[in-house]
């Protein structure tokens, strides 16, 4: 038993976003958040508001998404099915999956746990990782919901060269949909391509991603890969960040949120505070506008 009056609960979940209008609740539309919160309300018999690690667009999937919510300890301990041999965390996963199975069956709860009060699903992560799947051969209808088939042939070697050594802190204005008061400065920790049989997978990891950043980076790389733009075009847009009509988003269905990484428990609150603080543009590398990346 815990002696807190309120518990913060972390839930890890996965979902197929094909039939949903993205993560965030929208009136009259099926969304992941709306479906999960409806399920929680059914279990606890009261509204439950969740906070997510990263909102996904309509049609985007997640292998490992993270949310949190706060709940009175007494209500948590009274969860039906909770007993010493079957703790509330296990009972809630079972019950919530049972409720969600009655909807589309496209959402699965992996784990639930009580976490420190300093844990924040949105602001505590140190990294988020996505993968984007691209079919390199003929169209396969069996994988159409989570693999993008580009109509033009792609030169993978050219794409690998385009993103080689591109990691680091940059202003991603040319690859983001602007939001009032939000920074477009991010640290790209990984951008690489792998291939297994007929599928190329792009792996992108950053401290955080601004709105549409992943799909815009992939969209730009595809244009270099199919010859629509000369090698170096993506890099030039990164080193000279200007949002314009050349920003093209890769289709949503090829994108999967792979995982969200958090620091040790004793660093969660500090990390959340650090993330909330607005990034200072003066923190950019001195060669941010000095030309092509090396």
**DSSP for 48-93, written as a single string:** ---EESS---TT-EEEEEEEEEEEEHHHHHT-TT-BTTB-HHHHHH
Per DSSP bridges, beta strands 185-196 and 199-206 are antiparallel
Query: Does 130 carry a binding-site annotation?
Result: yes
Q: Show me where the domains of the chain are located.
A: 6-115, 127-283
**pLDDT values of the chain reduced to their tens digit, one per residue, 294 residues:** 455 799 999 999 999 999 999 999 999 999 999 999 999 999 999 999 999 999 999 999 999 999 999 999 999 988 866 566 568 899 999 999 999 999 889 999 999 999 999 999 999 999 999 999 999 988 889 999 999 999 999 999 999 999 999 999 999 999 998 777 778 899 999 999 999 999 999 999 999 999 999 999 999 999 999 999 999 999 999 888 777 778 899 999 999 999 999 999 999 999 999 988 854 444 444 333 333 232
pLDDT of residue 15: 98
169 three-state secondary structure: strand
CATH number of 127-283: 3.30.70.660
pLDDT of residue 292: 29
Please determine whether the domains at 6-115 and 127-283 fall in the same fold group of CATH.
yes
Domain 6-115 sits in CATH 3.40.50.300:
no
What value, to the nearest 5°, has the Cα angle with vertex 76 and ends 70 and 81?
145
Q: Which residues are catalytic?
A: 57
pTM: 0.90
Virtual torsion, Cα 235, 238, 241, 245, nearest 10 deg: 70
Q: Which whole-number Å values give the CA distances from 213 to 42, 83, 218, 222, 265, in the listed order?
A: 35, 45, 9, 14, 29
Residue 193: its H or E element: strand 185-196
Task: Pull the structure tokens for residue 3.
Answer: 């002696």
pLDDT of residue 81: 64
């Amino acid at each position: 038993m815990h002696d807190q009056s309120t518990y913060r609960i972390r839930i890890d979940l996965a979902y197929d976003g094909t039939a949903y209008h993205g993560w965030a609740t929208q009136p009259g539309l099926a969304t992941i958040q709306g479906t999960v919160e409806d399920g929680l309300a059914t279990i606890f018999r009261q509204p439950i508001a969740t906070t997510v690690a990263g909102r996904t667009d309509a049609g985007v999937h997640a292998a490992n998404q993270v949310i949190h919510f706060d709940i009175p300890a007494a209500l948590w301990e009274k969860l039906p099915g909770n007993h010493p041999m079957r703790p509330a965390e296990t009972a809630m996963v079972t019950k919530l999956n049972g409720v969600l199975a009655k909807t589309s069956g496209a959402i699965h709860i992996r784990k639930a746990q009580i976490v420190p009060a300093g844990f924040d699903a949105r602001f505590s992560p140190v990294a988020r990782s996505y993968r984007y799947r691209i079919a390199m051969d003929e169209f396969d209808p069996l994988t159409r919901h989570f693999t993008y088939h580009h109509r033009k042939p792609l030169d993978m070697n050219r794409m690998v060269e385009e993103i080689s050594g591109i990691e680091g802190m940059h202003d991603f204005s040319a690859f983001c949909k602007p939001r009032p008061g939000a920074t477009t400065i991010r640290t790209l920790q990984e951008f690489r391509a792998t291939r297994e049989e007929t599928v190329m997978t792009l792996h992108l990891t950053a401290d955080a991603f601004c709105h549409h950043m992943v799909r815009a980076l992939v969209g730009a790389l595809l244009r270099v890969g199919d010859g629509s733009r000369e090698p170096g075009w993506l890099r030039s847009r990164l080193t000279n960040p200007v949002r314009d009509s050349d920003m093209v988003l890769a289709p949503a269905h090829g994108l999967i949120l792979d995982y969200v990484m958090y620091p040790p428990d004793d660093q969660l609150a500090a990390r959340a505070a650090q993330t909330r603080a607005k990034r200072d543009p003066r923190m950019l590398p001195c060669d941010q506008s000095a030309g092509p990346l090396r």
